[in-house]
Structure 1
Amino acid sequence: MHTIPTPRMGGLGMLIGFAVATVFASRLPFLSGLFNGNYQMWVILAGGIMISLLGMADDLWDLDWMLKLAGQLLISVFVAWGGLQIISLPLGGSLITASPSLSMAITAFLIVASINAVNFVDGLDGLAAGIVAIGGIAFAAYSYIIARSSPSYASLATLIDVMMVGICVGFLLHNWHPAKLFMGDSGSMLLGYLITCASIVMTGRLDPASIHASIYLPVFMPILLPILVLFLPVLDMCLAIVRRLAKGQSPMHPDRMHLHHRMLKIGHSVRGAVLILWGWAALIAFGSLTILFFKAQHVAVGMPIAVVVLTIATMYPYLRHRIPEIQAENLTLESARKNAQHATVKSQSAVGESRDSIGSQAADSMTDSPADSRDSQAGEVQDPAADK
């Protein structure tokens, strides 16, 4: 959507920021216990470096989509093999322990899906970074609530969320419209990877023996958490894949039919479209958390009101331009209908006058014919007499 050449290696800066923050956190006394004897955070950092390098290669050389997808899958399997797995699954109102192979498969699928979802939605200045930051704040809030039940409030999931939100906010300073820097695939893939890693760390290891499932399942389910927070990117990704496959194109074939493109098409500015999409992301991301802080009755009233407000804001430019057009079209149609009715009346009147003229001529003809016939017959009778 940009009109001038813009650097697109912002993802490299985001990766460096995350790596420096990780090393710094490992030296803090409050958080050092998360790193002692636990290599999970270092595995996540290694996976982040690899996924960013893959994105940089795609930015530089435009990799084939199948090659890029294969690289994403391999990195996801590596991270799952390194210990980042969804151990517990919600099923039948309780939490059950999944087999290692199933855990690795589900983990890899979620990581790859989230990576591509954020990559697909990265089409406007500040959109992807803002949506991921909103999701990270929602994750951090919930992971902090869970961490309060432990002796130490230190939580690896909260740490990842805070660092991820930090690199998003820092990047937004350079990416707000008009952007001076793009994150590229190296940044969008890194954000999709990190937000899923944080959700898996936070929800993938709920102990079925020590935590009653009824406390957590009504709020959200570990398998659906990345989809809830990344609902807009995931929806956009699914629509794009279906749309492209229906046209016989590659699922990664670029087009301008994404949700953010449609927002611009109906009349939103770039900043307006980004802010409204942020609002939808916040509504969906925090929707499952509001039940923890407010009564269910208040949530049941507040959520529909927020949906109505955002819907009006989303459709306002379209309605502002479309309603006058509809009114003008209605006036044109009404005028055409009246003209057609007037023409029909005139045509019927002309037809009636023509019929009256034909009828009068026929009547005159019928009146004159008998007399002429009688005169002719009388002449014929008199002629013989005249001859005599």
Structure 2
Amino acid sequence: MREYLLTLCVTAAVTYLLTGPVRKFAIAIGAMPEIRARDVHREPTPRLGGIAMFGGLCAGLLVAAHLPNVGKVFEVSNEPRALLSGAALIWLLGVLDDKWGVDALVKLGGQMIAAGVMVMQGLTILWIPVPGVGSVALTSMQGTLLTVALVVITINAVNFVDGLDGLASGMVCIAAAAFFLYAYRMWFGYGLEPAAPATVFAAILMGMCLGFLPHNMHPARIFMGDSGSMLIGLVLAAGAISITGQVDPDSLSLFFKGSERAAVHATVPVYIPLLLPLTVLMVPVVDLVLAIVRRTWKGQSPFVADRGHLHHRLLEIGHSHSRAVLIMYFWSALIAFGAVGYSVHSANGWIVLIVVALSAVGLLLLLMPRFTPRTPSWADSFVPPRYRRRRNTADTPGTELPVREGVSAPHASDNGSANGTGSAGTPTTTRVPAGATAIGARSRNW
């Protein structure tokens, strides 16, 4: 675990440190597109954040390759090299799109080429588990088509959800954390060596997202652009393909004391999170499907951008920018970790009950856009100002409140100036009795 944490921290640190210089570079070359009608931000913001994320990916792979235990993955498997090759292609395509713009069909072709490069180097789905049947081996053509489709769907799902500050990076980080827990359990819990590359990919992906988030939280100082969204989508898909298509059900049968068919049937809940990344990316995938249906119904191209995404709808019903992002985080974490928890304890019904209860809480939050939670006083220093409890500093007798120039204060002393200034025109301090409130003393935490 320590080596994975080291890989994660190095990736996050490199990404975080590179993002500042990348932002200056993006401004210098003019990678700051004009505000569009569907955009939420109101000021031109530089893109190309994917450059820093790709640097973090390279740093994470380099460090992992030189670690005693994790480094063995690079000796016995070609998947890390396949990931780096596909990531480099998709990253270059994203950089071109962020600076000059690339046609949607060209980007789709580039995504398929990047996926094909990974397939040629061995990162492909070899078989899939089917309940009641066992493992179904795929032909070379079937495995290639399924792998390419999975990569393209995941990339575009992440790209579509990248509409609010910190949304895509946070949701992918949540998905990567769920992948890591599952892959780590398969690798060290069952000793399945094919799960080792996916564990490394998930740790690196978490580092990429965590390193970029501080620069991308609302209000964002830089956007990841297509160079970042397509990159993290490809890395997430690579991890899912690696562990789902490479783990041999014959090895699983040793742990479940039965035939291969019985092992696959018994471990179907285990495969739920990673059979397809649609589980941990359920929210963006649903958004992707709805967008395609909506645009096709209107007679438009599925690649024409609009303001009908889920995060746009949250803003329209009254949620703030930060609140909409947190709600999307909540649903992503609930589905991702609920699926992983069910895969571990599928025989226990309490997992389902917890998910149902949390879903009810999520629906309540959706229906209360004006509700703002308040934290206790001892937690004020740990939360943003908007969530701190408003307090009247004049509740204590004898509290002295500064009164702004030009604003009168109730119960001001008769010998003082009405506008709160002395003879020299400087602000004075007015003693306010207990329970009184001075105008302008309201907290600015809103």
Q: TM-score when scaled to structure 1?
A: 0.79
Looking at structure 1, the residues matched to 130 and 266 of structure 2 have their Cα atoms a distance apart, in angstroms, of 14
Counterpart amino acid of 1:277?
M
> 1:144 aligned to 2:184?
yes
Instruction: Select the residue among 166, 175, 190 that pairs with 2:231.
Output: 190
Q: In the alignment, what sits opposite 2:283?
A: 232
CA shift digits 1:285-341 (9 cap, x unpaired): 011222315862211221111110001101212799xxxxxxxxxxxxxxxxxxxxx
**Structure with the bigger percentage of helix:** 1
Q: TM-score when scaled to structure 2?
A: 0.69
Of stretches 58-67 and 222-231 in structure 1, the one that deviates more from structure 2 is: 222-231
CA RMSD of aligned residues (A): 1.9
Of stretches 148-157 and 274-283 in structure 1, the one that deviates more from structure 2 is: 148-157
Q: In the alignment, what sits opposite 1:216?
A: 267
Of stretches 255-264 and 142-151 in structure 1, the one that deviates more from structure 2 is: 142-151
Contact conserved, 2:157 with 2:284, CA < 8 A, in 1? yes
In 2 relative to 1, CA 105–204 (structure 1 residues): closer, same or farther, beyond 3 Å?
A: same
Looking at structure 2, the residues matched to 311 and 214 of structure 1 have their Cα atoms a distance apart, in angstroms, of 33
Counterpart amino acid of 1:299?
I
Deviation at 1:221, TM superposition (A): 3.8
Looking at structure 1, the residues matched to 334 and 111 of structure 2 have their Cα atoms a distance apart, in angstroms, of 29
Q: In the alignment, what sits opposite 2:21?
A: none
Looking at structure 1, the residues matched to 347 and 324 of structure 2 have their Cα atoms a distance apart, in angstroms, of 32
In 2 relative to 1, CA 110–152 (structure 1 residues): closer, same or farther, beyond 3 Å?
A: closer
Higher relative contact order (CA closer than 8 Å, sequence separation 6+)? 1
Contact conserved, 1:220 with 1:288, CA < 8 A, in 2? no
- Any unmatched runs of 5+ in structure 1? 321-388
Counterpart amino acid of 2:328?
L
> 1:261 aligned to 2:341?
no
> 1:134 aligned to 2:134?
no
Q: In the alignment, what sits opposite 2:80?
A: 41
Deviation at 1:179, TM superposition (A): 0.5
- Any unmatched runs of 5+ in structure 2? 1-39, 253-262, 373-446
Looking at structure 2, the residues matched to 279 and 108 of structure 1 have their Cα atoms a distance apart, in angstroms, of 29
Counterpart amino acid of 1:58?
D
Of stretches 73-82 and 103-112 in structure 1, the one that deviates more from structure 2 is: 73-82
Looking at structure 2, the residues matched to 88 and 125 of structure 1 have their Cα atoms a distance apart, in angstroms, of 38
Of stretches 213-222 and 307-316 in structure 1, the one that deviates more from structure 2 is: 213-222
Deviation at 1:39, TM superposition (A): 2.1
Rg comparison, structure with higher value: 1
Counterpart amino acid of 2:306?
D
Deviation at 1:70, TM superposition (A): 0.9
Looking at structure 1, the residues matched to 233 and 326 of structure 2 have their Cα atoms a distance apart, in angstroms, of 20
Deviation at 1:95, TM superposition (A): 1.4
Specify the SS of the correspondent of 2:136.
strand
Q: In the alignment, what sits opposite 1:306?
A: 358
Deviation at 1:208, TM superposition (A): 2.6
Specify the SS of the correspondent of 2:329.
helix
Specify the SS of the correspondent of 1:89.
strand
Looking at structure 2, the residues matched to 283 and 271 of structure 1 have their Cα atoms a distance apart, in angstroms, of 18
Instruction: Select the residue among 123, 140, 164 that pairs with 1:100.
Output: 140
Contact conserved, 1:90 with 1:221, CA < 8 A, in 2? no
Counterpart amino acid of 2:184?
Y
| Number of residues of Structure 1 aligned to a counterpart in Structure 2 | 320
Query: Identity over aligned residues, as a percent?
Result: 41
Deviation at 1:215, TM superposition (A): 3.7
Q: What are the equivalent positions in structure 2 for 1:53-202 lying under 5 Å apart? A: 53-93=92-132, 94-148=134-188, 149-150=190-191, 155-202=196-243
Looking at structure 1, the residues matched to 250 and 127 of structure 2 have their Cα atoms a distance apart, in angstroms, of 11
Contact conserved, 1:157 with 1:201, CA < 8 A, in 2? yes
CA shift digits 1:59-90 (9 cap, x unpaired): 11221111111111111111112111111112
Counterpart amino acid of 1:242?
V
Counterpart amino acid of 1:80?
V
> 1:21 aligned to 2:73?
no
Runs of 4+ in 1 over 6 A off after TM superposition: 151-154
Contact conserved, 2:243 with 2:274, CA < 8 A, in 1? no
Looking at structure 2, the residues matched to 109 and 209 of structure 1 have their Cα atoms a distance apart, in angstroms, of 26
Counterpart amino acid of 1:163?
I
